């Protein structure tokens, strides 16, 4: 069973508010995107990695990639303005006959536990699709402008993370259906739902935060320190 990983990294990262895309901000002295790639390189299940970038960022990424020693191929494709376009671009170059499964992961989630890849793939083998997620702890309200219209049941709602795993041929069909119907989803599982595929769920990781705002960086640095005992905060 061969597995390819898709890392959509073409976003502008406007919420970060800086001059650089968020995936190139440094975490512990290393660009976030490179830290994410290291996690996938460390997984024995992943055979190939495809990164979708904006065209004007490919040269800088290639320079960074040249400083790494990866034992598996890392390919680069030109992404689009939206996540769906970037994943579709990467998916075009993945042969379903050669890679039965694909794992899609946000470029700015570098702190997940690599064993999560195996868990989500194992779950995906039941229906063809699986995500990881964490429980909601806060009370959730549905609102209409400035008025509460309902309180949502927390036991039936989760916060979705990546990695997510899909059977390659099913994901490609879901993308084709989305294009034909001009349907856009916020992640690939939404496309699979639209395609009528049951999506499995496994427990994610609290440290698996998506770094999108400046306030996320200090928390990410703290979690990074916990990954490295020698860097752990002193009591």
Q: Has residue 230 got a pLDDT over 90?
A: no
| 63-76 per-position pLDDT tens digit | 999 998 888 999 99
**Confidence (pLDDT) at 16:** 64
**ω into residue 18 within 30 of 0, thus cis?**
no
**Confidence (pLDDT) at 225:** 93
| Closest CA relative to residue 34, chosen from 2, 77, 66, 59 | 66
Mean pLDDT for 210-224 is: 95
Domains and CATH numbers, the chain: 3-231 (3.90.550.10)
| pTM beyond 0.85 | yes
| 161-207 per-position pLDDT tens digit | 999 999 999 999 999 999 999 999 999 999 999 999 999 999 999 99
Cβ count near 231 (within 10 Å) = 11
List C-alpha distances in Å: 44 to 34, 39, 115, 154.
18, 10, 10, 36
Beta-carbon contacts of residue 103 (< 8 Å; ≥ 6 apart): 3, 4, 5, 6, 40, 46, 117, 120, 121, 163, 164, 165, 166
Extract the tokens encoding 46.
């992943």
Mean pLDDT for 198-217 is: 96
């Amino acid at each position: 069973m061969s597995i390819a990983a898709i890392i959509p990294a073409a976003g502008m990262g406007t919420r970060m508010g800086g001059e650089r895309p968020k995936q190139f901000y440094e975490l512990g002295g290393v660009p976030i995107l490179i830290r994410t790639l290291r996690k996938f390189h460390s997984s024995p299940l992943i055979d190939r990695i495809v990164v979708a970038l904006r065209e004007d960022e490919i040269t800088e990424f290639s320079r960074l990639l040249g400083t790494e020693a990866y034992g598996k191929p890392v390919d680069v494709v030109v992404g689009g303005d939206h996540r769906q376009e970037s994943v579709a671009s990467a998916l075009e170059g993945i042969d379903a006959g050669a890679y039965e499964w694909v794992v899609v992961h946000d470029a700015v989630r570098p702190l997940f536990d690599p064993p999560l890849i195996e868990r989500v793939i194992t779950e995906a083998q039941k229906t063809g699709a699986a995500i990881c997620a964490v429980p909601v702890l806060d009370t959730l309200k549905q609102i209409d402008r400035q008025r509460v219209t309902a309180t949502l049941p927390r036991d039936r709602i989760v916060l979705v993370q990546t990695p997510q795993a899909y059977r390659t041929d099913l994901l490609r069909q879901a993308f084709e259906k989305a294009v034909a119907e001009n349907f856009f989803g916020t992640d690939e599982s939404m496309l699979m739902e639209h395609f009528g595929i049951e999506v499995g769920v496994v427990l994610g990781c609290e440290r698996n935060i998506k770094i999108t705002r400046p306030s996320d960086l200090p928390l990410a640095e703290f979690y990074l320190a916990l990954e490295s005992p020698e860097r752990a905060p002193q009591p």
